Amino acid sequence: MMGCYGIGPARIVAAAAEQFSDEKGLSWPMALAPWQVHLVSLSKPDEPERAEADRLYEGLLEAGIEVVYDDRDAGPGQKLTDAELLGCPLRVVVGRRGLADGIYEASERRSGEEHRIPVEGGVEAIEKLVASLSGNG
């Protein structure tokens, strides 16, 4: 008789979840993350900020960035807490306050480093940030 104990996708993901988690939830490394960017819209469906979040979402998809888009009708606290739990490497928030300043608010899940990304050229700036977090920038 012979046994084989291999390492497959399930074990790799389990090991990564164990190694890359903290009190807030998962903190996926870019290479294993189900999405590179977690886009969070802090507005209601009929508000102009939602249209901007939708535009950014489409731009990120066109740029080939893997994005999960939280456009639920939920409060900001719930959305931001859920983003921490999911643990995507980069969270980008589109909200009234940021847009009033002409920016998207981004934060790196692992380090907590925050970035103010100008709306003009925002897709390209997010692409560069994703590349730097991937070790390609």
Domain 33-133 = CATH 3.30.390.30: no
Cβ-proximal residues to 94 (8 Å cutoff; 6+ apart), any chain: 39, 40, 41, 42, 43, 49, 52, 53, 56, 104
Confidence of residue 137 (pLDDT cuts 50, 70, 90): low
Q: Any idea where the domains of the chain sit in the sequence? A: 33-133
pLDDT digits (tens, 9 = 90+) for 12-49: 888 888 898 888 888 999 988 999 999 999 998 889 89
Does position 76 have pLDDT exceeding 70, yes or no? yes
